[in-house]
Amino acid sequence: MALTAEQLDELRRAIEARHTVLLAEVHSDVARARDESYGEVAGPVTDPADRAAAYLISDVDQAEVTRDLLEVRELEAARARLADGSFGYCADCGLEIAFERLRVNQGATRCVDCQRVHEKTYAHPAEPRL
């Protein structure tokens, strides 16, 4: 394992902290989305334009929840890789992923070079990665 025990410890703590924050965010997003669909935003709205705006708001909330849940899953996958010892290695080329990259994005599964190739091959414009 190329990462030191201290580095792994730091990343493990970062994963757990981020995971906790994300779950709290998802919970409050879902609660807010629920309030908005039945509350004042979408409540006594009769104008079709206002109704469209209310739907738009819940779409945005949904996108946010979807994005948060995706990150939760990535962190849980990272946690599993920590457990089985494959954490920190590129899923494509098998080389080590730089600690600095993992520090910023604990869910990273590829080294910078493979990530670049991957993004070129499967363009994901909505997913900026370091």
Binds Zn ion (CB under 5 A): choice among 3, 15, 75, 111: 111
Which residue number, 17 or 93, has a Cβ lying nearer to Zn ion? Answer: 93
Only segment of 43-51, 92-100, 101-109, 121-129 that touches Zn ion (CB under 5 A): 92-100
Q: How far apart are CA 111 and CA 65, in angstroms?
A: 27
Contacts of Zn ion in 2-41 (CB under 5 A): none
Max distance between CA atoms of the chain, in angstroms, equals 62
By CB under 5 A, how many residues form the interface with Zn ion? 5
Task: Answer for the pair 98, 66: CB distance below 8 angstroms, yes or no.
Answer: no
Residue with tokens 């948060």: 68
Q: How far apart are CA 71 and CA 77, in angstroms?
A: 10
Contacts of Zn ion in 69-88 (CB under 5 A): none
DSSP 8-class letter at 97: P
Cross-strand pairs, 96: 89
92 binds Zn ion (CB under 5 A): yes
Binds Zn ion (CB under 5 A): choice among 93, 104, 116, 127: 93
Q: Where does this chain bind Zn ion (CB under 5 A)?
A: 90, 92-93, 111, 114
